[in-house]
Amino acid sequence: MTSALLFDFIVDKENRTITIKREFDSDLALVWEAWTNPEILDKWYAPKPFRAETQKMDFREGGFWHYAMINPQGEKQGYSRYDYQKIEPEKTIIELRGFCDENGTVNPNFARTTCSNDFSEADGKTLVTIHAQYGSVETLEFIVKNGFIEGMSACFGNLDEWLDTLKK
């Protein structure tokens, strides 16, 4: 990873939000594909030594991504579901995120998170701005306390590695 790439992570407890700005040393089309192709998502969307495993993905407005987090022993540690609310190709993905079971049924005990992922390109680099609005302060605190910042940082490092392999 190039150390000069932008990475901002802002937690605003009062407004129940997390905003992440992350730059990638790659063109927009490739970063967009990494965000929308389940085979590629599975390569980077989990902090090592964990891995993501897509259970089902229907990438369209009204569709969803259901995935499992797999531990190093191959056991499924938990599931998440992202329901796609709005998609503007190579610009925006708005999704409603939640923890769920193996069937994709969302856990009602955790307030869901509305998340906007915005993509832009300048000088051959892609900036992704993620704005997550949590349904409750308790959910936000749980996420932060349980390593969300460190986990996302690791995931983005995985994506940097994957993008770098394409340059070689």
Cα radius of gyration rounded to whole Å, the chain: 15
The CATH number given to whatever domain includes residue 112 is: 3.30.530.20
Q: Print the domain residue range for 115.
A: 7-167
pLDDT > 60? residue 3: no
pTM value? 0.92
Residue 74, pLDDT score: 95
Would residue 2 count as lying in a domain? no
Q: Is residue 141 part of a domain?
A: yes
In the chain, the number of structural domains is: 1
- Residue 31 covered by a domain: yes
Residue 111 lies in a domain: yes
pLDDT of residue 94: 98
Q: Mean pLDDT of all residues in the chain?
A: 94
Q: At 8, phi and psi to the nearest 5?
A: -115, 140
Residue 97 lies in a domain: yes
Does residue 1 fall inside a structural domain? no
Question: pLDDT tens digit string along 94-153?
Answer: 999 999 999 999 999 888 999 999 999 999 999 999 999 999 999 899 999 999 999 999
Q: Name the amino acid, one letter, at 63.
A: G
Could you tell me whether strands 125-134 and 17-24 are parallel, antiparallel, or unpaired per DSSP bridges? antiparallel
